[in-house]
Structure 1
Amino acid sequence: MVFDNPHRDSHHSLMDTLVDMRPTIAITKAHMKLPELAESVKSGRLVPDGKVCLNELGELAVTKFAVEPVWYLPGVAERFGIDEATLRRSLFEHTGGSYPELITRGDIKVFLPPIGGLTVYCFGDPEKMSDESVRLSLRIHDECNGSDVFGSDICTCRPYLIFGIEEAVKEAQNGGSGVVIYFRKEGRALGEVTKRGEDRASDYFLRTENIAGVKDMRFQALMPDILHWLGIKKIDRMLSMSNMKHDAIVGQGIPIHERVELPDELIPADSRVEIDAKITAGYFTAGKRMTAEELQSVQGRLWEE
């Protein structure tokens, strides 16, 4: 089911006048099917209710919001503490001059950047996302193709994604709101090639920095914008250990009441390299942080294995 656009006729009239009209948000309802969810039902972690968790296969009812980024340049410049002309020049240069209107058309204030968008998966009544009287469980998830799609066990991305979905569903079943937001930021926004880790926790970020020049290119400053658009004013349970995501959200005035880390039993053995390195670098944990010396002993499987 795709929601109809009540302004479709007016859009057609604008297009007839050669106005460039491009959709940036689409909303649909669907059923979500993931193999782990059937196991969640079988083990009793999820209980079918016929509304959110639909059946014994763990099939979920979900409302999906696909969103492409749209930047209002004066506002973005103000938030970065720079003038609009500097922002326009920087965008023009870093896109190889592909958008000359950034320089020649100062009257065009909106820019659709050539970067990945995001998808919101809402479990339960979408209107509850903005209702401060009900609990909200939220996971902000940055794309990891190798783990999310193909099940690679060298990182915790898919396990945390599945855990986030389960917890979001439980919240919705308890009368609250459960939301998972999936951002297209593959490989710490470096891509799969330049995000090349090392099979030792002590060198995990160093190897990436040696190749790409930076440890992480994910820019979280604009990430909370989608939360404001959804009307989210507080987060009861943040299903993420990322300090960068936490700080960006809280910095925009949205309080987080509880941070929920990935349970140890859901962490694949070979992904200890990734998660232990991130915890030492600042990720949230209620447990122990390893010292630099202890990280030396966290070793991934050998090439031959």
Structure 2
Amino acid sequence: MLEKNTESIQNSPTVKDADSSLTVSAIPKSVFPSRIVLTTYPKQIGIDPIPIHWGNSDHLKRGPVIVSRSPSTIRRRNAIGAHGGTYSIYYALAVASKELNIDHRPDFTNTEPAVSIGPYPQWGSSRKIVAMDPWGHMAPWIFKDIMSREDVDVRPTIAITKAHMKLAELEDSVKKGRIVPDGKICLNGLGELSVTKFAVEPVWYLPGVAERFNIDEGTLRRSLFEHTGGSYPELITRGDMKVFLPPIGGLTVYCFGNPDKMSDESCNGSDVFGSDICTCRPYLIFGIEEAVKEAQNGGSGVVIYFRKEGRALGEVTKVRRVSYSANLPAHGA
């Protein structure tokens, strides 16, 4: 059972676990505040989350996603978790080693999205988009006044840029006539492609995610809490917080052609290193070729790349499964 009183480190230089002989040095005040806030509760004194109404078509009425635990922002948080997904751990290491200030705020100068996306009607429904923030690519700019007025840390969860893609197989695709250079989508005989790249961090609207899995929100919250080692107690104590930034990988979108005309999964072994452990890379190349053709025909081709190695089971499980299959006796033996 979670205790409602917050723990704190006193002025003593060390904190000793009663069940252990290990002594841990107290956290220097120069890095973190002396008080440790393990969790918060609705209507707790000092807790005043900025309202967020998921699915409101007006971005100001919808409100920003605020998840930072920085001293100036923690009392105004309206979301659970942390920015960066799996990379939040590296952020923590940077702060702990004093390579990054605890109250650091990014400079978003000249980082505006390379293309304009939305808003679309789907953004105005709390049930249409539940695993990402559709306003995430514009957050620091459309919520600039709130950031200044409330002194809160608002960060983007989507980034958009222009890029060139060059894969060895695409040069072969050009040589064999599967892709024809046009100077716009396929830039040259080397198979170099012009793309719009989107990086997307996961942002979950918990009621919507629960609905997708046909479970109740309470069960989802409890399972997430238990199976992340109890890392996010506010999943239990803050039922008023409906948004969760989970510690998982995001996705990358490569758009070929005009993004306005936009109407699978990561594989480290095959896609990245060309291993014969699976056939993911040939499927990826085929998908890129078809996306290029669609863009050259006046449409828009899209390749979405998820960080879900081995059907979301992880690379260790995937490799063990392949190893198991390889060691099976041949059929009929």
| TM-score bracket relative to the smaller structure | 0.5 to 0.7
Task: Verify the 8 A CA contact 2:112 2:138 in the aligned structure 1.
Answer: no
Separation (CA, whole Å) in 2 of partners of 1:149 and 1:8: 33
How far has the Cα of 1:7 moved from its partner?
5.9
- How many residues are treated as equivalent by the alignment? 199
Separation (CA, whole Å) in 2 of partners of 1:67 and 1:6: 12
Separation (CA, whole Å) in 1 of partners of 2:153 and 2:235: 16
Separation (CA, whole Å) in 2 of partners of 1:82 and 1:149: 36
| Residue in structure 2 matching 1:22, options 130, 152, 155 | 155
- Which structure: greater helix fraction? 1
Separation (CA, whole Å) in 2 of partners of 1:6 and 1:93: 33
| Residue in structure 1 matching 2:205, options 72, 90, 94 | 72
Match in the other structure for 1:108 = 241
Match in the other structure for 2:304 = 181
The within-5 A match list for 1:91-240 is 91-130=224-263, 141-195=264-318, 196-198=320-322, 203=325
Letter in 1 for 2:289: E
The higher radius of gyration belongs to: 2
Separation (CA, whole Å) in 2 of partners of 1:68 and 1:8: 15
Separation (CA, whole Å) in 2 of partners of 1:48 and 1:13: 46
Separation (CA, whole Å) in 2 of partners of 1:162 and 1:51: 19
The 1:167–1:149 alpha-carbon spacing in structure 2 relative to 1, beyond 3 Å, is same
Separation (CA, whole Å) in 2 of partners of 1:7 and 1:81: 31
The percentage of aligned residue pairs carrying the same residue is 76
Paired residue secondary structure (1:87): helix
Query: Please, which runs of 5 or more residues in structure 1 have no aligned partner?
Result: 131-140, 208-292, 300-305
Task: Verify the 8 A CA contact 2:203 2:244 in the aligned structure 1.
Answer: yes
How far has the Cα of 1:129 moved from its partner?
1.3
More deviation, 177-186/17-26: 17-26
Task: Verify the 8 A CA contact 2:174 2:191 in the aligned structure 1.
Answer: yes
The 1:97–1:199 alpha-carbon spacing in structure 2 relative to 1, beyond 3 Å, is closer
Paired residue secondary structure (2:316): helix
Separation (CA, whole Å) in 2 of partners of 1:25 and 1:81: 28
Paired residue secondary structure (2:310): helix
How far has the Cα of 1:191 moved from its partner?
2.0
Separation (CA, whole Å) in 1 of partners of 2:312 and 2:138: 36
Paired residue secondary structure (2:305): strand
Match in the other structure for 2:124 = none
Task: Verify the 8 A CA contact 1:54 1:60 in the aligned structure 2.
Answer: yes
How far has the Cα of 1:10 moved from its partner?
5.6
Task: Verify the 8 A CA contact 1:2 1:29 in the aligned structure 2.
Answer: no
Separation (CA, whole Å) in 1 of partners of 2:300 and 2:284: 17
Task: Verify the 8 A CA contact 1:32 1:60 in the aligned structure 2.
Answer: yes
Paired residue secondary structure (2:295): helix
